[in-house]
Structure 1
């Protein structure tokens, strides 16, 4: 997409009567690799004022936001699961699928471990090492989840996180693709195939000291596909276990979304896209889902967007809604011991 095409789309969308969202242009500067908005205190207060604090219940509230439920206990403590708030920038690599999967796994691992495990999972590892997942060419959701189930995933933060974030955050294999400068440049390259480091971690520099993270893999025990025609089941799963990965069709006008409840209005189909579902709510009688995208926190509503719950989005939103059942992180040596015991058990039977 060119700048002229972007301008044309914005004019068409904003002149469309009765639309529920607004389009706009984004600043021509590199999206910083910060993965949490700078004004987090202000955003947190707005979120908490809007949604309130929720107690785990089988009753479905009118509005829900995972960032609130798993936020800090008080203003002086850190978030229970800080990964839920993080907004990724996948750069020119068309890999929203990998970012969504890695992000959901980070969140659910934290929740399942009762906030003890707070590492970020590596989208880069999925892109480079899952040979049947299509890399930067849009991804294959089923193949990706099968890969995590059978091959596992390592830890890893955003682009250049090894230069600014502690070793615990950037992990084994941080993202290697630079952020995109404009939203019409995000997710445009389909031929990028990063080198796979299947059994080792990248070296990190922390306080001028070269450190190599520990190579530990996390697996999913299994994953469930939730039907979009049963929103109550999706809501219960989200409240109980954490964010979900959702697939949708992506069109040109999605790039110029700034605020409101998005529905596809104009523009060409660009392929499949995956995002992270974190909540729901209502706005002037319009019911919506709340999601985090992977175009950086300057895009949309601080990196998030809303989409109708009634199926009027025109994007086939939710044709795949995945709820992973997370397992424990396992070191390679542990895996070998488990396999050895398994074979010994067979021999002794």
Structure 2
């Protein structure tokens, strides 16, 4: 009996090792929070800053111009998710809601291998830099998610869409100049007049378990870096917060969104706000009148992490229990 048990335990540990080697944790994401370069610093007038309300939600002002929450799955693609999401949001806002086109984080993963001075480069599912990526979106642009659906892998830079159609400048959406901000009030005014911005921050284990309320760090164990689209602010039970969209699917947090304490630089959230304008001059006429498509969420060949665990548990535990019968 003990030999059988040892054999099964060996199989269990080997299976777990292979499983986690093959499939990264669902919530892993990598972003490198560095001081942005090549962006203009914005400072609004005191008169404009005086108009900032106590609370704001871009979804209330611009309706559904805030694009749907995406699911990055087992790929550290938050940097590609937030930059494509930001550009989609701002393009919709800049066209008064006439262009609602989800943009392809997969294209950014495969094509934006740009580097900062000093050799710091975007490296697909292992991480990237927001300022470098926004510069790529300004010079090169990005195709739609329909053209190149998300596969949750590095991939390569394609010359055709998944349906075989050629990729050209006419099929891309481009960003304008990127910006950073002189103060948190400047960030707020930017959000309420132009749309979402991006925040990079340190990721702590308890953030994965967030399900509501205002997030405040409780541990000292930095896991890695992350990024999110910030589109509002408010106050809950006396605590000021930022309102943001994550890229871990709608089952996480508040339907994929979260609130994080504002004014205390919680987990470095307020260190490096950054954004970019939408370039509407070169938009293809075919994009006008478009509506949000259902976000692609990865290759159909890669099943859910929980489904894998369920199948493996069944195949291993049932024979194990039968051996004791």
TM-score range, shorter chain: 0.5 to 0.7
In the alignment, the residues of structure 2 paired with residue 221 and residue 122 of structure 1 have an alpha-carbon distance, to the nearest angstrom, of 17
Alignment-derived partner of residue 104 in structure 1: 86
TM-score under structure 1 length normalisation: 0.61
Q: Structure 2 unaligned runs (5+)?
A: 1-25, 28-47, 115-121, 285-325
Q: Match of 1:141?
A: 130
Give 1:146 shift. 1.4
| Secondary structure class of the residue paired with 1:146 | helix
Q: Which runs of 5+ in 1 are unaligned?
A: 1-29, 32-55, 72-78, 157-170, 178-191, 204-210, 333-349
Q: In 1, are the aligned partners of 2:197 and 2:229 still within 8 Å (CA)?
A: yes
| Change beyond 3 A, Cα 1:301–1:138 | same
Q: Distance between the aligned counterparts of 1:265 and 1:193, measured in 2?
A: 33
Tell which has more relative contact order, 1 or 2 (C-alpha 8 A, sep 6+): 2
Q: Is structure 2 residue 55 aligned with structure 1 residue 63?
A: yes
Q: Deviations over 1:8-38 (max 9, x none)?
A: xxxxxxxxxxxxxxxxxxxxxx99xxxxxxx
Instruction: Say whether 1:173 aligns with 2:128.
Output: no
* Secondary structure at 2:244 match in 1: strand
**TM alignment of 1:301-312, pairs within 5 A:** 301-311=254-264
Corresponding residue to 2:181 among 215, 219, 226: 226
| Aligned ranges 1:105-144 → 2 under 5 Å | 105-132=87-114, 133-144=122-133
C-alpha distance 88-223 of structure 1, shift in aligned 2 (>3 A) = same
CA distance in 2, matches of 1:330, 1:125: 19
In the alignment, is the contact (CA less than 8 A) between 2:94 and 2:280 conserved in 1? no
| 2:131 and 2:178 in contact (8 A); partners too | no
- CA shift for structure 1 position 283: 0.7
What is the number of equivalent residue pairs in this alignment?
A: 230
Q: Output one character per residue of 1:309-345: Cα deviation in whole Å (capped at 9) or x when no partner.
A: 12252x111322112111137489xxxxxxxxxxxxx
Consecutive aligned runs of 4 or more in structure 1 exceeding 3 Å deviation: 211-215, 329-332
Q: CA deviation at 1:138?
A: 2.2
Deviations 1:154-200 (A, max 9, x none): 111xxxxxxxxxxxxxx2111112xxxxxxxxxxxxxx421221x32
**Alignment correspondent of 2:191:** 238
For 1:23, the equivalent position in structure 2 comes to none
Partners of 1:150 and 1:219 within 8 A in 2: yes
Q: 1:67 & 1:100 partners in 2: Cα distance?
A: 17
Distance (whole Å) between structure 2 residues aligned to residue 150 and residue 328 of structure 1: 14
1:101 partner SS: helix
CA positional deviation for 1:258: 1.1
Q: Residues 184 and 270 of structure 2 are in contact (CA less than 8 Å); yes or no, is this contact kept in structure 1?
A: no
The verdict on how the C-alpha distance between 1:60 and 1:176 changes in structure 2, with shifts beyond 3 A counting, is same
**Are the aligned partners of 1:58 and 1:236 in contact in 2 as well (CA < 8 Å)?**
no
Deviation at 1:85, TM superposition (A): 4.8
Structure 2 residue 231 is matched with structure 1 residue 297: no
**2:312 is aligned with 1:320:** no
Superposition RMSD on alpha carbons, in Å?
2.4
Which has the larger share of strand? 1
